Structure 1
Amino acid sequence: MVLEILQAGFMQRALVAGIAVALICSVVGLFLVLRRHSLFGDALSHMAFGGIAVGMFTQVYPLWTALIVSILGALGMTKLRQSTKISPDASVAVLLSSGLALGIVLIGLSGGFSVDLFSFLFGSILLVSFDDTAMILALAAGILAVMALLYRKLMYIAFNEEQAKVSGLAVNMLNYAFIVVASVTVIASIRLVGILLISSLIVIPNIAAMMLGKSFKKTIIISAAISVASVITGIFASYFANLPPGGTIVLTTIFMLLGIMGAKYAARKAKTVQTAVAENTSEPGR
């Protein structure tokens, strides 16, 4: 049964696009989580929602307008945060509400919600076309190449931005570059899980990986493995159970996070019991 399904073109495209998106979300998401910008992905997805509404209103391919609007909005938010005393979480809130408001107004002017809009909101990975897959692969290759090139510098900034400035790194330019990469990552992920769930795929696998307490490189590898496993499992589960793919993928990542939390708790309890037993047996007269 599984081999027959894998021979279907739509399933092949879904798996290829899904794995590519899983990799870029885990890599970019780790830097967002380390910089305490976990909600930034959510804000970018709302800006993408506004950009898609712009595309539908102007009759332009929505993903291109979403990309432009997301990048401009993210760069504007970064500039606002750097030039004013607005806190990062407040600037994220401004970006989030701006994109949502823009989208709602333009959707109203366009005549309301449509089937296409719902596919962008909730994802339609099983309906990804060959052109969509090619675009996702191209964007993913570019994102991974940039992240590999800037890896050490971005890691330095993520752990200590002030020290990075003192050391002579062009922190502002690197922040702008990372913001653009994060925006492109969100756009590439829309077909997989939809606008409403993108931030979950960016954040949850990285939280799960960080709980394992490994080194930075190992955390990236573990996060990517969790993300890829969640996508593959979610795609197959959604197909066999006739469930929405985006929600199924995100629920799979949540189950994996809960599993890791349970395993960590069980390990701590076992260690506590072993310590107590060792102390009791070492006491004199016993």
Structure 2
Amino acid sequence: MEIVTSEFFQRALIGGLLIGVTAPLMGLFLVLRRLSMIGDTLSHVSIAGVALGFLIGVYPIAVGLIFAIAASFAIEKLRKAYKSYAELSIAIIMSGGVALASLLFTMGKGFNNNVNSYLFGSIYTLNSTDLYVIGGVTVVVLIAIWSQVKELFLITFDEDAAAVSGLPVKFYNVMISVLTALVISVSIKIVGALLVSALLTIPAACSLIIARSFRQSVITVVIIGELAVVAGLLIAGIWNLAPGGTIVLLLIAVLLLLLVFRRGVRAGS
């Protein structure tokens, strides 16, 4: 248990706790709006930005963040262009992100090992700058959600009614996309671009099983996200496992247990 008192583990725990709040919260809005795949899309685009950051010698997370925000605007633009086929926007942007990332990988073979840490997560390598960036994003996301929770609730469950009531639907759609981009950009160093979508969607999937209201869903996703991060880091630290993979597998285990429990309750009634 000496690892718990080490400085790198404490930094990892702080970063994980911050992301354990914001990622499930944003994931809840995405799942309820049937946009869960946007997490994969923005994470792949972020990796292209990270690769460019290493190539030009700029803070990788910052470049990844810029790429993700640009991609979020592009997704919204394409969603409007293909109203009847909104999922096309996600597929198009994801394809572009993967293509650009692969191109940048071939241009900078010397940094491929560094980029791999962003693909699979490297939470133990978080530094003070990373924590400040993650903390800043957490504050922005929480303030935005807290101050606009009623509007976001209406947009999420009935976009047409929100438009009729006079809410600027386009603004809120863009806001949700940008906030998601911010969260994903700072999450990829913690759980990795290949796993970040799980941290967005699985807590939300769990909340849909046990929560009976939107308020309960918000509380549930945060609790599940935080428990998975803390438990995953402790298990990974003690048994020398991959932290990101451990966190995601714990989330899947929780989801399966809840599904089994729900089936048992229904069978008993």
Shorter-chain TM-score above 0.5 = yes
Partner of 1:107: 105
- Secondary structure (helix, strand or coil) at the match of 1:169 reads coil
Once the two structures are superposed, the pairs formed by residues 54-133 of structure 1 within 5 Å of their partners are: 54-85=52-83, 87-111=85-109, 114-133=112-131
Query: Conserved in 2, the CA contact under 8 Å of 1:78 and 1:176?
Result: yes
Once the two structures are superposed, the pairs formed by residues 1-286 of structure 1 within 5 Å of their partners are: 1=1, 4-85=2-83, 87-111=85-109, 114-271=112-269
- Secondary structure (helix, strand or coil) at the match of 1:69 reads helix
4+ residue runs over 4 A deviation? none
Query: Conserved in 1, the CA contact under 8 Å of 2:44 and 2:98?
Result: yes
Query: Conserved in 1, the CA contact under 8 Å of 2:47 and 2:64?
Result: yes
Deviation digits for residues 20-42 of structure 1 (CA, Å, limit 9, x no counterpart): 10100111110000000010111
Shift of the alpha carbon at 1:130?
2.0
Deviation digits for residues 140-164 of structure 1 (CA, Å, limit 9, x no counterpart): 1111111111211111011011111
Q: Distance in 2 between matches of 1:12 and 1:169?
A: 43
Q: Distance in 2 between matches of 1:113 and 1:54?
A: 10
Deviation digits for residues 31-63 of structure 1 (CA, Å, limit 9, x no counterpart): 000000010111110110111122122222111
Give the AA of the match of 1:105.
L
Q: Distance in 2 between matches of 1:31 and 1:66?
A: 22
Give the AA of the match of 1:184.
L
Partner of 1:277: none
Shift of the alpha carbon at 1:113?
5.6
Q: Distance in 1 between matches of 2:57 and 2:239?
A: 35
Query: Conserved in 1, the CA contact under 8 Å of 2:202 and 2:252?
Result: yes
- The structure having more radius of gyration, on CA atoms, is 1
Q: Distance in 2 between matches of 1:227 and 1:256?
A: 11
Q: Distance in 2 between matches of 1:207 and 1:49?
A: 26
Gaps of 5+ in 1: 272-286
Query: Conserved in 2, the CA contact under 8 Å of 1:18 and 1:192?
Result: yes
- Secondary structure (helix, strand or coil) at the match of 1:60 reads coil
Number of aligned residue pairs: 269
Query: Conserved in 1, the CA contact under 8 Å of 2:82 and 2:89?
Result: no
Q: Distance in 2 between matches of 1:112 and 1:84?
A: 40
Deviation digits for residues 201-255 of structure 1 (CA, Å, limit 9, x no counterpart): 0000110111114211111111111110000111011111111111010000000
Give the AA of the match of 1:65.
V
Q: Distance in 1 between matches of 2:129 and 2:72?
A: 26
- Secondary structure (helix, strand or coil) at the match of 1:191 reads coil
Gaps of 5+ in 2: none
Give the AA of the match of 2:71.
G
Which range moved further: 76-85 or 251-260?
76-85
Partner of 1:280: none
Query: Conserved in 1, the CA contact under 8 Å of 2:233 and 2:247?
Result: yes
Deviation digits for residues 57-116 of structure 1 (CA, Å, limit 9, x no counterpart): 222211111111111111012012113446221110011111010000111111266221
- Quote the RMSD (CA, aligned, Å): 1.3
| TM-score, length of structure 2 as denominator length | 0.96
Give the AA of the match of 1:240.
I
Q: Which has the higher contact order (CA 8 A, sep 6+)?
A: 2
Query: Conserved in 2, the CA contact under 8 Å of 1:74 and 1:95?
Result: no
| TM-score, length of structure 1 as denominator length | 0.91
